[in-house]
Amino acid sequence: MPVLPRWIASTLAVCSGLILPLSFAPTHWWLLAILTVMTLYGLIQQATPRQALWLGWLFGLGYFGIGVHWVYFSLHLFGAAIAPLAALLTLVFVLVMTVFPALSCWLWARFRLADASLRNALLFASIWVLSELLRGKLMDGFPWILIGYSQTSGPLGDFAPLVGVYGISFLVVLLATMLLVVLAGSWKQRAGAITSISAVALVAWVAGTLSFSAPAGDPLTVRLVQANIAQEMKFSPERLNHALKLYASMTSQDGLKDVDLVVWPETAIPTYFDRVESAMSPFIASMEARGVDVLSGGFQRDGDDVYNAVRQLGGERAVYRKRHLVPFGEYMPLRFVLDFAARFIDIPMSDLAAGRGPYVPIKLQGTSVGVSICYEDVYGEEMRALLPESQMMVNVSNDAWFGDSAAPRQHEQKARMRAREFARPLVRVTNTGISSAMDFKGNILGRIEHDTQGILDVQIQPRSGMTPYARTGNWPVFILALILCLGIAWARRLRA
């Protein structure tokens, strides 16, 4: 391929990164993920390792600068950080994220094979997915806007129950690199690339026809309650009684005929559960008399520890405690660097404890319900603990922290991917939106939009069964990518 002037290559790299987030929610232009990665891969073909590092960094700057811009709103609008400090912290966070695409490009340029387009394509896809796996683990992990999420509504999304979102990331990057081989490789290389692309397309079609779970029991009618209480008023002690009455009235709105389960969002009860037990006892008694289960988010205290939790109101009073706390909401990432800023940010970052112990689904209406809170549904590997017992999944969240940005839409997109990975219906209820219900294929059954007060009744069919991804997690993708990297590096050494 021709060598472009540095300024043109740099411009193309940063523009490709800026365009890539359009492949995620809310636009869902999934093809852009393949085209932008193909552009980056083309730019580094003739680059030295140092040049590839620079181009990968520019790509990441656009990618994460747009993709996670909502961190600023979290810090400034709801964390009370002054605008310059919020902007600085967001920039630092974005710069940390740029390390991953930059390092991927540098490693590829360092270990690529001469005149071996197909193996180089495999090498780049392997390095990329390993960098994403590292990003999902390092410093408690930040697996947001992984390339694979771009395909939630795309054809490669059918691979979700087979290989999960990381496996889809591998396939997206592989298709992008193979497409470049088709455009710029030799006839022999083009034939190999076309064969590979055709094989992926065939498997995707077959995967789309398969069902890895089966109906289990009778359908449930689930009511989602989105009260749309403004974040600045949510934790006001003076507003506590108002919030409780609002949720109670919305729960009973239009009657409860045929409703089996009501779900309130994360911290719908913005205090300790035991503090409002007596005040809510008439409401709880009325729900029990009607045979309706209610799940609500709130806080549970145990000694000196305070947990973000979900509790069954009435019945067995079953409780789930949040295990994975959210960065910039419940703790400060990179705190060893940014501890100086904590005094200027009014977000409770160290008050909450993480839940521990074996996961036990909550039994409601004879159905085993796997519960997660907020950011936890971003971690597919961890949500495997919900299976095989859970027959449906419920996620409660408070995405008000992120304002009317792309984050609530991106969060819903990740929930859809979890539904596809585990072949389970999933209900997610948030304070200010977006609340939605989806079937085991990730199709939206109903939605309450952002900044809207309302209820939604949906019929959910519980399911049982284990997908290949639920059985194996990310290990097959990790092992395959590692073997490919080591094998190609060994081949390079033999050639040398």
Residue 186 CB neighbour total at 10 angstroms: 11
CA distance 252 to 274: 23
Does position 110 have pLDDT exceeding 70, yes or no? yes
Please confirm, yes or no, whether 15 is among the known catalytic residues. Answer: no
Element (H, E) at 434: none
Residue 284 CB neighbour total at 10 angstroms: 17
Catalytic residue among 266, 330, 376, 412: 266
Q: What is the pLDDT of residues 302-317, one digit of tens each?
A: 888 889 999 999 888 9
* Percent helix, strand and coil across the chain, each to the nearest 5: 55, 15, 30
Angle between helix axes 277-290 and 240-252 (nearest 10 degrees) is 0
What is the pLDDT at residue 345?
A: 47
User: How confident is the prediction for the chain on average, in pLDDT?
Assistant: 90
Catalytic residue among 374, 412, 414, 421: 374
Please confirm, yes or no, whether 374 is among the known catalytic residues. Answer: yes
In the chain, domain spans? 6-211+474-495, 214-466
pTM value?
Answer: 0.92
Summarize the confidence of residues 59-83 as an average pLDDT: 86
Q: What is the pLDDT of residues 161-173, one digit of tens each?
A: 999 999 999 999 9
Summarize the confidence of residues 359-384 as an average pLDDT: 92
Is residue 70 a contact partner of residue 406, using CB atoms and an 8 Å limit? yes
What is the pLDDT at residue 339?
A: 53
Catalytic residue among 105, 322, 376, 414: 322
pLDDT-derived band at 349 (thresholds 50, 70, 90) equals very low
Assign a CATH topology to domain 214-466: Nitrilase/N-carbamoyl-D-aminoacid amidohydrolase (3.60.110)
Does position 77 have pLDDT exceeding 80, yes or no? no
Q: Which residues contact 428 (CB under 8 A, 6 or more apart)?
A: 377, 394, 395, 396, 397, 412, 415, 434, 435, 436, 437
